[in-house]
Every structure is written in structure tokens, then in C-alpha cells.
Amino acid sequence: MWLLAWVMPAIAAPANTRGADAADTAAVRRVWVWSDVHIGLCTNSTGERDGAAWLQDAVADVRDHAGPIACVLSLGDIANSAARAQYVQYADIRRRATGMGPWFEYPGNHDYAGVKDGLWAEYVASPRRFILADGNGVWICFGAEAGGAGGRISEDTLRWLRESIARYQDRNVIVCSHQAVSRTVQGSQKDWCALYCPVAGDPLPEPLPAGANPSTPQRETTDAALQRVARIVDDLRVDLWLCGHIHGSKHTADSIVRRGKTTFINVASLTPAYGNHPSSSFVLEFRNGVRTVNARYRDHDAEKFDPALSTSVEFPYPWRFSGPPAIEPAKNATIPH
């Protein structure tokens, strides 16, 4: 019950930067992308560092040192056990993080129970899938649809994803998911970390080999179901695909992979839970009239960008911004319950 009484200090923008914000935002549009904060999960035995504390510190770091932020995008696993108190904390942090533009979120697998019992809609309110329009680019975003680690999506979502990407081939296209596309970034060769869409009649997943460690997660799906999602980038142009979910080890150069015309980036995670690594995220920097976007890895513990874990992404069209980022209205923007 102590979580409900948790008080968040105000997160204020540095006073000496406010006058420069408007001019800087006109030339550079920064989007802060983070994932897997797991509010409610402590990172040591004494419970001193809950996920909420990591998020609070990251907000302060980005606000103080990364430049004006046009909007914020979370790729899932906001809460660890989808308890009401965890979403109360998140909503309070977001409310106090003024001056960073709008926040957009979709659920991870740890948020799935919160979606089912209505807490996600009550405290977060973002659709479970949506298209974020930003000038001549789109961010096609969809969250986890199950509570397990594997990225199972429905036939309806796979169809929506393909149709949405195909509809916007005349714009710069960014796709955002919780789990990764199979066999792209480090860790995505494990099927419990990758997106898949099964069909009726699929063969059962292969059993673990003889002598395997009993604690090894069982295969959740088949190669054919994994490839139904992975083939999208073979059939359609996706310029950038962002994911989270995989955060059991430190980021390496393999957390960024290029396959064909698509750059894949794993942005997780804001909390060091599940591994000994720094709190981290990405700040994407767009410039009006420029094709190249800088995806900058931010180490929040050190309060610095790491060029070795950053990259640049070349888009087909020079970016043009005409207004603030906004979710495009569409009758199929949300997933039916």
C-alpha cells in the first residue's frame, strides 16, 4: 500500500533553456523513445531503486541535457505487474514532466493484465495500436497482445500492419513494436523475444533438444509464424523499426541491425532489471529538409550520449514538419477487446 502514498518531486525544465526552445524546435525535432521501465520492480534486494525512480531520473536527464523534446514515445512494459499503484505512479511522473511535448504509449506484455482490467485505459489512455503522424512521416505503433514473453499478434493486427505500411509508402515509415522482428537485433533469435502470427493448422513448435536445461523457455511458435511478420520488410518499405523487450544484457553494436532498406533498433531499457547494464534509451533527432536522422543512444547513468551505440538512419524523403505530432483518427486504430 505504500506505493499509493508515493510522492514525486516536480520535474522542472531548466529555466535558462526555455527562451531557446522555440527556435531550436523549429530546426530540430527530437523524439525521446524509451521502453521497459517496469514500475513496481526493484533492482536490488533492499528495494531502493524501483522502476519509477529510474524513469524519474531519466526524465530529468533528458530534460536537462538532451535539448527540447517534441514528443515522448514508450514502447511498453510501463508497469511490472500491472497493479493500479504502478500506473498511478506513471501517470504522476508523466503529468509532472511538463515541456516535453505529448507522450504516446502502447502496452508491453507486462502491461497486458492492466489492459484487460481497464487500468491501462484509466491511467495511460493511449490506444493499443495507432498511427502517429508527424509531418511527412508516420510512426505505425502496436503493442503486445498477450501476457507471455513471446510476441504473438492476431491475424487482424498483421493485416492492419501490412495495410498501414502499404498505405504510407509515399511517406517516411517508422514501425514500433514491443517485441522484435525475428532474427534481427541481438536476442531476437529467441522466439520468446520475437513477433509472430500463427495460423490454424500450424505444426506444434519443436521440443527442446535432449539434455537442455529445464529452465530454458519452451519454444512458443514455429518458424513459419515468425516469418509471417518478418516478411513484411521484404514486401514493403519500412525505413526504421524500433522495439524494446530485450534487456537481459548490455547494449552492443548488435542492438542496431540493417537488413535491406530497414534499420532495426532495440531501445530497451530504462531499468537495469534482469541484467547489469545502465539505464538507457534513444533520442531521435530530425531536421527539417534533411533525410538523415540521428538515433542517439543515451546512457542515463553517465548522463551522456554514446556514439559507439548510436547510428544514423537515411530516409527516402527529406523530413518536413508542419505541426505537432498527433495520432491519426481511424476507425481501426484500436484493437477490439
Predicted structure pTM score = 0.87
The total number of structural domains in the chain stands at 1
Contact 264, 253 (CB under 8 A): no
What is the C-alpha to C-alpha distance for residues 264 and 267, in angstroms, rounded to an integer?
A: 10
- Decide if 238 is inside a domain: yes
Which among 145, 61, 81, 70 has a CA at the least distance from the CA of 107? 145
- Decide if 121 is inside a domain: yes
What is the C-alpha to C-alpha distance for residues 332 and 154, in angstroms, rounded to an integer?
A: 14
Contacts of 141 (CB under 8 A, 6+ apart): 73, 104, 106, 129, 130, 131, 132, 175, 176, 177
Residue 332 has a pLDDT of: 43
What is the C-alpha to C-alpha distance for residues 332 and 175, in angstroms, rounded to an integer?
A: 17
Backbone angles phi, psi at 240, to 5 degrees: -145, 135
Neighbours of 211 (CB within 10 A): 5
Contact 43, 74 (CB under 8 A): no
Contact 114, 79 (CB under 8 A): yes
What is the C-alpha to C-alpha distance for residues 293 and 161, in angstroms, rounded to an integer?
A: 23
Contact 102, 111 (CB under 8 A): no
What is the C-alpha to C-alpha distance for residues 58 and 78, in angstroms, rounded to an integer?
A: 14
- Decide if 300 is inside a domain: yes
Residue 211 has a pLDDT of: 58
- Decide if 59 is inside a domain: yes
- Decide if 337 is inside a domain: no
- Decide if 166 is inside a domain: yes
Residue 205 has a pLDDT of: 62
Domain span at 163: 2-8+24-205+218-327
In a structure prediction context, what are the per-residue pLDDT tens digits for the chain, which is 337 residues long? 333 333 333 444 433 333 334 444 558 999 999 999 999 987 765 567 899 999 999 999 999 999 999 999 999 999 999 999 999 999 999 999 998 999 999 999 999 999 999 999 999 999 999 999 999 999 999 999 998 888 999 999 999 999 999 999 999 999 999 999 999 999 998 888 999 999 877 766 665 556 555 445 567 788 899 999 999 999 999 999 999 999 888 889 999 999 999 999 999 899 987 776 899 999 999 999 999 999 999 999 999 999 999 999 999 999 999 888 999 886 444 433 2
What is the C-alpha to C-alpha distance for residues 32 and 52, in angstroms, rounded to an integer?
A: 17
pLDDT in tens, 186-216: 999 888 899 999 987 776 666 555 655 544 5
Read off the CATH number of the domain in which 238 is found.
Answer: 3.60.21.10
- Decide if 13 is inside a domain: no
- Decide if 180 is inside a domain: yes
Which grid coordinates belong to 110?
Answer: 507486462
